[in-house]
A and B are shown apart, each in its own frame.
Chain A
Amino acid sequence: MAGLSFSAPLLLGALITLPFIWWLLRAMPPAPIRTRFGGMMFLEGLENRKETPSKTPWWLLLIRLAAIALLILGLAGPVHGARKDLDGDGPLLLIVDNSWPAAPRWRERQDVLRALAASPGASGRVVRILTTAGEPALSDPMTLRQAAEEFSGMTPEAALPDRDLLLDLIEEEAVVLNDVAWVTDGVIGRRGADREFLRRLDETGSLTVIRPAGQVTMAIRSLHSLPDGLRVEVERIGSNVDGGTVLASSADGRPLGEAPFTFENEEDVAEVRLTLPLTLRNEVGKLTIIGLRSAGATWLVDPRARRVRAGVVSDGSSGLLEGGFYIEQALADTAVINRGALGDLITEDTSLIILDDIGVIRGPVEDALLVWVRAGGTLVRFAGPNTSNAEEATGPLRSQSFPVALRGGARAFGGALSWTEPQTVAAFPEDSPFADMSLREPVSIRRQVLTRASTEPGYEVWAALEDGTPLLTARPEGAGRLILFHVTSTPTWSDLPVSGVFPSLLGRIAQTAADVPSIAPTDALAPWRLLDGFGGLRDPGSRAVPASPEEMLEGLAAPGLYGTANSAFAVNTYGENAPTLDPLGISLMPGHAAIRGLDTGAVREFGPMLITLAMILMALDAISLFFRNRMVKAVTAAALIFAVAIPMAPSAKAQTADLRPEIDTQSLAAALSVRFAYVETGDADIDRVVRSGLTGLTREATRRSALEPAPPVGVDIEREDLSVYPLLYWVIRENTPPPSDGALSQLETFMAEGGLLIIDTMDGERQTDATLTPQGERLRRILLRMNIPPLEPLPADHILKKSFYRLDDLHGRNSGGPVWVEASSALRDSTDGVPSLIIGGREWAAAWATDELGRPLRSAGQGGELRREYAYRTGINMAMVALTGNYKEDQVHVQDLLDSLGEAP
């Protein structure tokens, strides 16, 4: 099957013409020498008796003949290593398992198909490709060569063939299963549909199964967190492999650790223990099997298996006087620390919460805290003045969130007014989780809070003083645990926070807390990254279908990471719910199947190379012509320039485009200073009014406020970059031509990046509730094609009414019709809450419009010049909002603040 063959052998017949071409080249006279002659009269009657024979040099003749021969050979498509495996010549159905088990040797599969396509006479065969992974798809009929090219562009998917859907599709499309070639992934499920699929293949006319010999298929089946590392289950499908190595790497690809595994005897599942320091373990983002690139051999690790998240509530952590500092130092290696208000920490997926001397917790928060503890959280509290006072303040009612009831006040030892010596910590009790730890040096305690009674149910003493007073008490609460340090987290009450044992204590506690209450998703999540068949993470792009919690938990969603980058929820390819796979042995295959391996050498097609060579020879010919005949110099030079320049020009352009998109001069100028912009409508009158309107507003803003914009500019939204303008004024009339999709997406980007788009329909006076004005109708049509934020009628306390002047409404030349603004619920912090869209029919620009001397262009409308003044105030407010966003929203409360200050004594 190796060796040289031609994909179009008939073309070789054209080689017969070579001698004819040789004769033709010989017989062809050379180009005549043109000369002027005065004796034309005597030439009139003469006959052209003899032709000058061609005087082409032999080497040129050779070059030309060689070029033609190479061209013919090249077009005939010589192929090395073509395969002649496909029987029959009827329409062929090519079933391609583009599933993850096929990924490790995907390239070979592609090569095989190319080799098949290159086999003599096969390239023109009609083929339909049926891809099986995920959602099966049937292509249109194409030639085998096209099919091979199509296949070359495919990548495997992180899914298994769904034979149910496949059979449905075959049924639906009435696919004729006559000549079938099956590029299999080498595995087969155990379900009925899989067997049914094999049975259907059994009925085909001819079946070629292309199956890699000795394919290695392994998959990571599950991952469990252990206190000291991770436990991974690897499954092999087929017995072609005895073991391997699991590599744990971080989310950004750094290798963190690896562990080998072997399959014992007949076992198909091997267990791997990856022992990693907690810090490293917490960084694990991905597990892979070394040397096997497939989605199945990749396991995405999400925070469920990751580090302990500790929430710390303290006064601060910046210095030696603050308890948070000692706690965070002690926990730095073993947990991720979140700081914040207690209420926020509870709702996060925190497994450990540390309260540094928090005395009273408000009722609802405490309830939530207890619910969280009962769900498996670990609450650690440190005592302190607040804690001891709290007990006094709340009376004998014991707080539910302490492991044990406390007495008010604190017991002090060794003070100036005390005869007692500071106590030291005794060795840890037998039943304490710290029993295996020892105290290297004595840790003295100078002050502590005391328990009220020692008869609490479930109350454990994990550490005590020499005199038996509890120092560290704990009580299980539901699935979780309450732990109390009877001293402060600062070294004021004791030496404990500065002793070597302190980090060990907190680290041990953190480890016991590592069994995080599961953070099952509650809402449908959009994919953040999806796995491809090779186990790489890709931007989901158009495949971004949100998955429901059930789908994610049961592994039915597309494998990948869901949610956001920081708290992603992983769905893995071959999870516990995935169907079990068997190797596709020969015994399972239909009897008449011709089984082919992938053991083909690379297919080498010489055609393109030969044609290139022919082209080079022809170019040589042309160059020699250039030197032999001066007459053609100019023509040749021009042709050469064209031939070289034309293919180069677009690529050169593309390159520069890639490196840095050009900034047009207007944008460049506009970026240097703040300026308002308006959309050029093409209607000269409107454009003039809007331009003068914005000029008037610019002048008024300069006069009245710190905002000093440059003169306004008109922009063409079809072509120009809008990102440099803060405010864009767009007049829509009934005859405004609908903008192109490109322009609309420009506007969307403009709004998304924090620009303020003011749409003015100039029809406020005519707006009624009943019907839509023509302008409104036009606007509606345009907005239907746009992705616009949700809108609401201008609320009473909107920032637009307060950003500079206090206004009752956004007055323009009229005050009719509602003004719509982006709903406050949709405002984003990333753009400082600038509403991206204002829609109204108030003719603001017409009210602002003045000529160069500052004389108004249009009448101010009902209300006279006072109305114009209000229009200017409206415009300045809009500009302020566009530039400062919600900055001025604070000012809304100034009055209240002043009032309350005034009331203070």
Chain B
Amino acid sequence: MTNALTLERHASEAAQNLPALLANAETLAATLTAGAHGRRRPGPGETFWQYRDYTQNDPASAIDWRQSARVPNRYFVRETEWETAATVRLWCSQAESMEYGSRSVTKLWRAEILTTALALLLTKAGEKIGVLPPEGPGQGGQRAVMTLAEYLVSPHRESEDPLPPLCPPGTTQAVYISDFHAPTEDLVKRLKEIAATGVPTHLIAISDIAEETFPFTGRVLFEPPREHHHARLFGDAKAIADAFFKARRAHFGVVEDTCRRFGFTFIRHRTDGPATPALALIHNAVAGQVR
């Protein structure tokens, strides 16, 4: 952010959207809390978990002498909670095309809700989350969701890239939420690079109903959601509908094939439908990988 004024503007915009985002996301996430998996078990970590009696398999160095001294003839081992150093990284595209919504909901808003809701679910389950492109280490708990939400509602230039970014090391899973309106070759290449890192990856392709049905007729001037000078004028929009469908099908066909090849989850979601099914799918996919 270049100066204080824009900072203030974006902050107030963020403050304006944040409660709505969180409320929406929490409502959405609440539908899925039942049956959440737990990670509450001993394992390598920093946080105290429990004391248990010494067994023969334990090294002597594992004995907590202070605790053992309190009880005669018993030796306790101090167990810490199992902590994963790994993080689920979430990416919500802020590309220009995301700001389109033929009805009231834009693709971006739906993507942000999905991202935040997913983050809520994951943090409740004890996972650590982080945003993509990487902004600090992964965090857990409510604070992490706040950080994520704040990041989402304030625009970021680096997120406007329609290509999904690469995950930093230490990422256990990556979730990409976008409309994936990026040139097909570039996108496939990037997916290949992501696949090379070996991180389990999930893609949610969000689309608008108008993009799937192309309901335009007559002489139409199409403008991108943000910039007006890249407008395209078509004398008869109906006449180009088929070509449009063809181009779109080809693009997503290739993307889906690529995902299938690399074992990525690929979920389609349309903004006119409810968000819950998509959230359930992605949550299951992510949780499945965790287990």
Chain A 37-78 interface residues, beta-carbon cutoff 8 Å to B: 37-52
Residue A40 contacts which of B97, B102, B239, B243 (CB distance < 8 angstroms)? B97
Residues on the A chain within 8 Å of B99, using CB:
38
Chain B residue nearest to A45 (CB atoms) is B247
In the complex with contacts A33-B218, A33-B220, A34-B221, A39-B239 CB distance below 8 A: no
How many residues of A are in contact with the other chain, CB < 8 A?
Answer: 24
B189 within 8 A of A: no
B158 within 8 A of A: no
Residues on the A chain within 8 Å of B223, using CB:
34-37
Best-surrounded residue of B99, B179, B232 (most CB of chain A within 10 A) = B232
In the complex with contacts A46-B240, A48-B235, A52-B235, A38-B211 CB distance below 8 A: yes
Residue A42 contacts which of B107, B208, B224, B251 (CB distance < 8 angstroms)? B251
Residue A36 contacts which of B100, B107, B214, B244 (CB distance < 8 angstroms)? B100
B210 x A37 contact (CB < 8 A): yes
Chain B residue nearest to A39 (CB atoms) is B211
B244 x A52 contact (CB < 8 A): no
Residues on the A chain within 8 Å of B183, using CB:
41
Residues on the A chain within 8 Å of B100, using CB:
36-39
Chain A residue nearest to B245 (CB atoms) is A42
Residues on the A chain within 8 Å of B216, using CB:
35
A442 within 8 A of B: no
Residues on the A chain within 8 Å of B247, using CB:
42, 45-46
Bitwise interface map of A from 274 to 303 toward B, beta carbon under 8 Å scored 1, else 0: 000000000000000000000000000000
B210 x A42 contact (CB < 8 A): no
B219 x A35 contact (CB < 8 A): no
Residue A43 contacts which of B98, B208, B222, B235 (CB distance < 8 angstroms)? B222
Residue B224 contacts which of A36, A45, A49 (CB distance < 8 angstroms)? A36
B236 within 8 A of A: yes
How many residues of B are in contact with the other chain, CB < 8 A?
Answer: 38
A50 x B97 contact (CB < 8 A): no
Least CB distance from A461 to B in Å reads: 120
The CA of A503 and the CA of B101, in the complex, are separated in Å by 113
Residues on the B chain within 8 Å of A34, using CB:
220-221, 223, 231
B236 x A50 contact (CB < 8 A): yes
Best-surrounded residue of A32, A39, A44 (most CB of chain B within 10 A) = A39
Chain B 238-253 interface residues, beta-carbon cutoff 8 Å to A: 239-240, 243-244, 247-248, 251
Chain B 101-152 interface residues, beta-carbon cutoff 8 Å to A: 101-102, 107
Least CB distance from B287 to A in Å reads: 31
Residues on the B chain within 8 Å of A50, using CB:
235-236, 239
In the complex with contacts A39-B211, A42-B247, A33-B219 CB distance below 8 A: yes
Residues on the A chain within 8 Å of B225, using CB:
36-38
Residues on the A chain within 8 Å of B234, using CB:
43, 46, 48
Residues on the A chain within 8 Å of B210, using CB:
37-39
B233 within 8 A of A: yes
Least CB distance from A42 to B in Å reads: 4
A43 x B232 contact (CB < 8 A): yes
Least CB distance from A60 to B in Å reads: 17
The CA of A39 and the CA of B102, in the complex, are separated in Å by 11
In the complex with contacts A37-B100, A38-B98, A40-B97, A32-B230 CB distance below 8 A: no
A29 within 8 A of B: yes
Bitwise interface map of B from 184 to 210 toward A, beta carbon under 8 Å scored 1, else 0: 000000000000000000000000101
Residues on the B chain within 8 Å of A608, using CB:
none
A29 x B98 contact (CB < 8 A): no
B181 within 8 A of A: yes
A30 within 8 A of B: yes
Residue A52 contacts which of B181, B219, B248 (CB distance < 8 angstroms)? B219
Least CB distance from B18 to A in Å reads: 24
The CA of A48 and the CA of B219, in the complex, are separated in Å by 10
B220 x A32 contact (CB < 8 A): yes
Residues on the B chain within 8 Å of A39, using CB:
97, 100, 181, 208, 210-211, 214, 244, 248
Residues on the A chain within 8 Å of B182, using CB:
41
Least CB distance from A441 to B in Å reads: 114
Least CB distance from B183 to A in Å reads: 8
Bitwise interface map of A from 859 to 883 toward B, beta carbon under 8 Å scored 1, else 0: 0000000000000000000000000
Least CB distance from A40 to B in Å reads: 5
The CA of A612 and the CA of B37, in the complex, are separated in Å by 84
Residues on the B chain within 8 Å of A36, using CB:
100, 222-225
The CA of A46 and the CA of B247, in the complex, are separated in Å by 9
B243 x A46 contact (CB < 8 A): yes
Least CB distance from A36 to B in Å reads: 5
Residue B107 contacts which of A32, A38, A52 (CB distance < 8 angstroms)? A38
Chain B residue nearest to A54 (CB atoms) is B219
Residues on the A chain within 8 Å of B239, using CB:
49-50
B97 x A38 contact (CB < 8 A): yes
A40 x B222 contact (CB < 8 A): yes
A29 x B97 contact (CB < 8 A): no
Chain B residue nearest to A41 (CB atoms) is B181
Least CB distance from B98 to A in Å reads: 7
The CA of A880 and the CA of B239, in the complex, are separated in Å by 96
In the complex with contacts A32-B219, A46-B243, A49-B240, A40-B179 CB distance below 8 A: no
Residue A32 contacts which of B102, B221, B251 (CB distance < 8 angstroms)? B221
Chain B residue nearest to A52 (CB atoms) is B219
Residues on the B chain within 8 Å of A45, using CB:
247
The CA of A45 and the CA of B244, in the complex, are separated in Å by 9
Best-surrounded residue of A29, A33, A43 (most CB of chain B within 10 A) = A43
B240 x A40 contact (CB < 8 A): no
Chain A 708-765 interface residues, beta-carbon cutoff 8 Å to B: none
Chain A residue nearest to B247 (CB atoms) is A42
In the complex with contacts A32-B233, A37-B223, A38-B99, A43-B240 CB distance below 8 A: yes
The CA of A557 and the CA of B225, in the complex, are separated in Å by 87
Least CB distance from A419 to B in Å reads: 134
The CA of A49 and the CA of B235, in the complex, are separated in Å by 7
Residue A51 contacts which of B208, B232, B236, B243 (CB distance < 8 angstroms)? B236
Chain B residue nearest to A40 (CB atoms) is B224
Least CB distance from B275 to A in Å reads: 18
The CA of A155 and the CA of B141, in the complex, are separated in Å by 102
B235 x A38 contact (CB < 8 A): no
B221 x A30 contact (CB < 8 A): no
Least CB distance from A594 to B in Å reads: 65
Least CB distance from A269 to B in Å reads: 88
Chain B residue nearest to A42 (CB atoms) is B247
The CA of A45 and the CA of B102, in the complex, are separated in Å by 22
Best-surrounded residue of A34, A37, A40, A50 (most CB of chain B within 10 A) = A37
Least CB distance from A56 to B in Å reads: 13
Least CB distance from A184 to B in Å reads: 69
Residues on the B chain within 8 Å of A48, using CB:
233-235, 240
Residues on the B chain within 8 Å of A49, using CB:
235-236, 239-240
The CA of A29 and the CA of B233, in the complex, are separated in Å by 12
Chain A 235-282 interface residues, beta-carbon cutoff 8 Å to B: none
In the complex with contacts A40-B232, A41-B181, A33-B221 CB distance below 8 A: yes
Chain A residue nearest to B234 (CB atoms) is A48
Residues on the B chain within 8 Å of A38, using CB:
97-102, 107, 179, 181, 208, 210-211, 225
Residue A35 contacts which of B222, B235, B248 (CB distance < 8 angstroms)? B222
Residues on the B chain within 8 Å of A29, using CB:
219, 235
Residue B236 contacts which of A37, A40, A43, A52 (CB distance < 8 angstroms)? A52
The CA of A51 and the CA of B239, in the complex, are separated in Å by 9
Best-surrounded residue of B216, B222, B230 (most CB of chain A within 10 A) = B222
A41 x B220 contact (CB < 8 A): no
A52 x B218 contact (CB < 8 A): yes
The CA of A848 and the CA of B210, in the complex, are separated in Å by 89
Would you give 10 A-B contacts (Cβ < 8 Å), ordered by A? Answer: A29-B219, A30-B219, A33-B221, A34-B223, A35-B221, A37-B100, A38-B101, A40-B230, A42-B244, A49-B236
Known: A30-B218, A39-B211, A49-B240. 11 other contacts (CB 8 A): A29-B219, A32-B219, A32-B233, A36-B100, A36-B223, A40-B222, A42-B247, A43-B232, A45-B247, A48-B234, A50-B235
The 3 closest A-B pairs by CB, nearest first: A38-B100, A51-B235, A50-B236
